[in-house]
Amino acid sequence: MSEQRESTPLEIGSEIELEITGIAHGGVSVARHDGRVVFVADAIPGERVLARVTDQKKKSFARAAVTRVLDASEDRREHVWDEASLERDPAERAGGAEFGHIDLARQRVLKAEVLVDSMARFGDIELAGEEGEDFQETLAELVEAADGDDEANGLGYRTRVRLHVDPETGAVGPYAARSRTVVPVSSLPLATDGVNQIAPLAEAMQGLQTIDLIDPANDDPRMLITELGQKERRGEKDLVAELVEDRGFIVRAGGFWQVHREAPAMLFGAVHDAISDLIEAGQFDPAAGNLDLYGGAGLLAAAVAEAAGPGLKITSVESDPDATDNAAENLSEIVGARALTARVDRYLAELLDAAAPVRDRLRRGTIVLDPPRSGAGGDVTAQIAELAPANIVYVACDPVALSRDTKSLLDSGYDLLELRAFDIFPHTHHFESLAVFSRAE
């Protein structure tokens, strides 16, 4: 290792030498400079790098991006996206593949570290033991890969991609990381072939704001266009056909659906397994007041139904009326299923005022929820705890939000039975988790 350089002030544009010591939530690594935390893009824990300061407004931390690797990790790889590589100026690197320079297996370990740290700091749950061989094995096994990703090196999986249009040149591409700068690109390596075939990457698209590319599993690829000054995307309410194994779903083209080709089946299977385990343990009552909150197009309610079989009663609650319409259609063959349009907090407030027989059915029931990235939050978590269902199956896309809600549920008398994580966003810092809770008696 070279001799320590003299301290360099943290000024925007200055370059500093850093030892990367860890990973943070959000896809950046952690270092310190004169005692101040620096969040570093395009690094890997264990490396020594030169990094350019990009933001130092906060007193508690600064941000930087790697410009040169001095001591590389053995897990560093050539970036999967040329337009996001170190050869480019940090301000001109395409965003959306912030882990693209890291070996796929190491990416999953880093995501596991974030989950373990979040659960310890915010959830008061220790998921792994002390540092050592067993600890590393736990991390390596915690985040599960989707089928086919290892063989494809985590490429070609995204069925939904949003591109932006430069208002002056009409150039099309993703934003640079933490920026509104459009970066023109020649390909979309994380996207499916269907998305790449229709992507207008070499065209000038003046007069447009965004271009959403959709490649449904059982339908033709299509493009949703937002014109300047408009909010609605042209074609966003068109119905498209998705397929989860042999089960068909209809969704609005602009509606929510998991972006990884294998993610719907992976999460469907995970919820199915969780309900099956509860049934085997004698903890699931199909005739109780079972709920699917933030239910979207009904994917997870359908998973519960497949596990529970005939006789299931379940209500799917979703604030988007178009998604509720889709859920009603997708769940129409399940006699005891219904789909309601309502805000989750308002719906739960009504249930809390319900008569004793309704409250008793809810207390015997199971709640499945898949909230937005911010999590269910304190108010909704408190409402769920007051309803006191027998079980809670929580699907989360943000580990910190899940950890905070986990702490609330533990404090309300629930036990954490199971926690799984799924790497359905390779080459990014994102991942999905599933936590199963049961009311302590």
> Which residues are part of a known binding site for S-adenosyl-L-methionine?
258, 294, 318, 370
Of 271, 397, 421, 435, which residue is the catalytic one?
397
3-state secondary structure the chain: CCCCCCCCCCCCCCEEEEECCEEECCCEEEEEECCEEEEEECCCCCCEEEEEEEECCCCCEEEEEEEEEEECCCCECCCCCHHHCCCCCHHHCECCCCCCCECHHHHHHHHHHHHHHHHHHHCCCCCCCCCCHHHHHHHHHHEEECCCHHHHCCCCCECEEEEEECCCCCCEECEECCCCCECCCCCCCCECHHHHHHCCCCCCCCCEEEEEEECCCCCCCEEEEEECCCCCCECCCCEEEEEECCEEEEEECCCCCCCECCHHHHHHHHHHHHHHHHHHCCCCCCCCCEEEECCCCCHHHHHHHHHHCCCCCEEEEECCHHHHHHHHHHCCCCCCEEEEECCHHHHHHHHHCCCHHHHHHHHCCEEEECCCCCCCHHHHHHHHHHHCCCEEEEEECCHHHHHHHHHHHHHCCEEEEEEEEEECCCCCCCCEEEEEEEECC
Task: Output the known binding site.
Answer: 258, 294, 318, 370
Q: Is 393 noted as a catalytic residue in this protein? A: no
Name the residues annotated as catalytic: 397
